[in-house]
């Protein structure tokens, strides 16, 4: 007869050993509840630690094609906040290297914060200004402008204060 502690081995059913083993594993395995820190923050699943807070890791955004009149292939956007159609919002825009976002305007004021890639800002009169990949641009509504990305892809943040719309304009002769 074999003893394990005070209980004889042959007197304990196998199913009880299984139940006890599973219970011990569950009790002894460290349990950490899922928290916001465990979530990979993206624009599709942002973090929030309270009302009105939105935290997004820009390396994890989900890009969608941005299509429309004159927009070159490969341009993408990621909505970060708000409802562009209803009253403003924020987004990231990605432009492929050496691409030009055509001359356009919006009725809403807009703010750009360039995050990556050197670019050229093209004004309505054809003035072309080269800028670094770390640039702030604020435009009142109805100002025609175009953006030309340099040798590396460009990424920038855009904020619209009102509903999003877009009017295309011909490129000035001087900028072509």
Q: Which of 104, 107, 97, 110 is nearest to 160 (CA)?
A: 110
**pTM of this prediction?**
0.75
Q: Which of 96, 98, 99 is nearest to 70 (CA)?
A: 99
* Cα gap 158→136, rounded to integer Å: 10
Q: In the prediction, which pLDDT does 129 show?
A: 97
Q: In the prediction, which pLDDT does 27 show?
A: 46
38: its two tokens: 């465990």
Q: How would you write the pLDDT of the chain (176 residues) with one tens digit per residue?
A: 555 555 555 666 665 555 555 544 444 544 444 454 566 889 999 999 999 999 999 999 999 999 988 899 999 999 999 998 888 899 999 999 999 999 999 999 999 999 999 999 999 999 999 999 999 999 999 999 999 999 999 999 999 999 989 999 999 887 54
Q: In the prediction, which pLDDT does 40 show?
A: 82
At the topology level, CATH places domain 63-175 in Jelly Rolls (2.60.120)
Domain boundaries of the chain, sorted by first residue: 63-175
139: its two tokens: 């435009």
Q: In the prediction, which pLDDT does 87 show?
A: 86
Q: In the prediction, which pLDDT does 32 show?
A: 41
Q: What string of DSSP letters covers 34-88?
A: --GGGS---SSS-B-SSTT--B--GGG---EE---TTPPTT-EEEEEEE-HHHH-
What one-character DSSP code corresponds to residue 172? Answer: P
What one-character DSSP code corresponds to residue 175? Answer: G
Q: In the prediction, which pLDDT does 15 show?
A: 57
- Other CB atoms within 10 Å distance of the CB of residue 114: 20
């Amino acid at each position: 007869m074999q003893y394990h502690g005070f209980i004889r081995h042959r007197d304990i059913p196998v199913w009880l050993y299984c139940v006890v083993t599973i219970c011990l594993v569950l009790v002894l395995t460290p349990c950490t509840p899922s928290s916001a820190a465990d979530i990979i923050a993206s624009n599709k699943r942002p973090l929030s630690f309270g009302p009105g807070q939105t935290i997004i890791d820009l390396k994890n955004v989900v890009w969608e094609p941005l299509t429309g009149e004159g927009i070159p292939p490969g341009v993408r956007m990621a909505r970060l906040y708000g409802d562009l159609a209803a009253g403003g919002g924020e987004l990231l825009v990605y432009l492929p290297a050496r691409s030009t976002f055509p001359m356009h305007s919006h009725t809403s004021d807009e703010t750009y914060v360039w995050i990556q890639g050197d670019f050229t800002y093209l004004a309505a009169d054809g003035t072309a200004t080269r800028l670094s990949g770390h640039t702030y641009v604020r435009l009142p509504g109805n100002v025609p402008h175009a953006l030309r990305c340099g040798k590396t892809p460009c990424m920038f943040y855009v904020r619209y204060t009102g509903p999003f719309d877009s009017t295309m304009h011909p490129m000035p002769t001087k900028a072509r």
